[in-house]
Amino acid sequence: MNYYIVTTTVFNTLIKTNIKYMHPSNDGTKRIIITSDNVSTPLNTFATTTALSDYTFTNNSDWVGDGTGIEESDFEIGEVIYDPTIDN
């Protein structure tokens, strides 16, 4: 799996069935995604879910807004499934 932050514009061009997790930023301009695809123009790339989780805690106002971040366990495939029909 690949762990990225992408713009909403880039997100809209991706194959939604390959996305396993998606979380929009509070302002709606960015998306955290976990996908089997390689994204050529991400804003950020993370090697692990630990690094991705740490980033959300450091930049929590962008992602959760309550002084916390997204727990690494929330990124586990199977725990949170992205439903591509919600963006159609």
pLDDT tens profile 21-69: 999 999 999 999 999 999 999 999 999 999 999 999 999 999 998 889 9
Q: Please name which of 33, 24, 26 lies closest in space to residue 4, comparing C-alpha atoms.
A: 33
Provide the H-helix boundaries in the chain.
8-11, 49-58, 60-63
Give the residue with greater pLDDT, 83 vs 26: 26
Position 85 pLDDT exceeds 90 = no
Distances (CA, A) of 34 to 14, 26, 54: 12, 18, 15
Both tokens assigned to 78: 């199977």
User: What is the Cα Rg of the chain in Å?
Assistant: 12
